């Protein structure tokens, strides 16, 4: 799980880093942390494709403040899957935070137990939720909303991720790894090289499916009965 801390107070950053390191030690987890001292620097990283599951975001930052960055994350970039925890030395910002849907808001000085609760909650949602497919591309962690994935296709030592907006990403996961996770969440492996989102099947016959983007995919002979059952069950659940 990737966490960013953005605060111009280096003491607060060090404190949060230390608590997260302690959390890793006590829970045998791997929480990766990056620290930023301005909203502009964090903004540049997010725009370049860097992904974070969770942000500890100070409100009183020089130049662009934390609320303004939060509004960009939610409204301009549509990053609804990032959990925002705002921190401040003042309590008069509460009403300004509704539009950015924060996970929490904490007054300084921060309390260790509050930070631990926030991390526990985000870990639970990230680990058990299937809303996002997270991957690493060219050394950068990225994420795409799972409901926006039309299909995965095996490609060399990884997979291509085809999205409804036409975007194609590459991830280092094996197709089998993705099958193990997503077949119970509306995806079906109709062919040895394809894992498709059943929500995007526009036409279906015994031998092939046509996806919403026009892509026609052959259904493997050995998979036809299983795919038929999965497709029918999916349609019944949708109804």
- The predicted-structure confidence for 156-199, as pLDDT tens digits, reads as follows 888 999 999 998 998 888 899 888 878 877 899 999 999 999 99
Cβ pair 186, 196 in contact under 8 A: no
Render pLDDT for 7-56 as a digit per residue (tens, 0 to 9). Answer: 999 999 999 999 999 999 999 888 999 999 999 999 998 887 677 889 99
Give the homologous superfamily in CATH for domain 2-128. Response regulator (3.40.50.2300)
Predicted confidence (pLDDT) at residue 82 exceeds the cutoff of 60: yes
Three-state secondary-structure class, residue 234 = helix
> What's the half-sphere exposure (Cβ side, CA atoms, 13 Å) at 156?
5
Give the domain ranges of the chain. Answer: 2-128, 144-238
Residue 68 burial by Cβ neighbours in a 10 Å radius (0-12, 13-18, 19+): middle
Q: 139-148, pLDDT tens digit by residue?
A: 666 778 888 8
Name the architecture of domain 144-238.
Beta Barrel (2.40)
- Rounded to the nearest integer, the mean pLDDT of the chain is 89
């Amino acid at each position: 799980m990737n966490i960013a801390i953005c605060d111009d107070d280096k003491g607060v950053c060090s404190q949060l880093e230390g608590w997260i390191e302690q959390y890793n030690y006590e829970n045998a987890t791997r929480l990766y942390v990056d620290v930023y001292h301005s909203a502009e620097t964090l903004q540049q990283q997010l725009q370049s494709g860097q992904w974070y599951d969770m942000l500890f975001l100070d409100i009183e930052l020089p130049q662009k403040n934390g609320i303004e960055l939060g509004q960009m994350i939610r409204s301009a970039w549509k990053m609804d899957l990032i959990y925002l925890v705002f921190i401040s030395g003042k309590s008069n910002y509460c009403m300004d935070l509704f539009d950015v849907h924060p996970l929490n808001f904490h007054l300084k000085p921060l309390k260790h137990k509050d930070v631990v609760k926030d991390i526990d909650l985000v870990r639970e949602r990230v680990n058990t939720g299937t809303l996002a497919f997270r991957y690493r591309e060219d050394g950068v962690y990225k994420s795409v909303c799972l409901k926006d994935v039309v299909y995965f296709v095996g490609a060399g030592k990884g997979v291509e991720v085809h999205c409804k907006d036409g975007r194609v990403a590459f991830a280092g996961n094996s197709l089998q790894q993705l099958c193990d996770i997503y077949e119970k969440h509306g995806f079906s492996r109709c062919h040895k090289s394809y894992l498709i989102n059943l929500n995007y099947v526009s036409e279906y016959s015994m031998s092939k499916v046509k996806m919403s983007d026009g892509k026609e995919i052959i259904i493997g002979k050995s998979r036809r009965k299983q795919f038929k059952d999965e497709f029918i069950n999916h349609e019944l659940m949708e109804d």
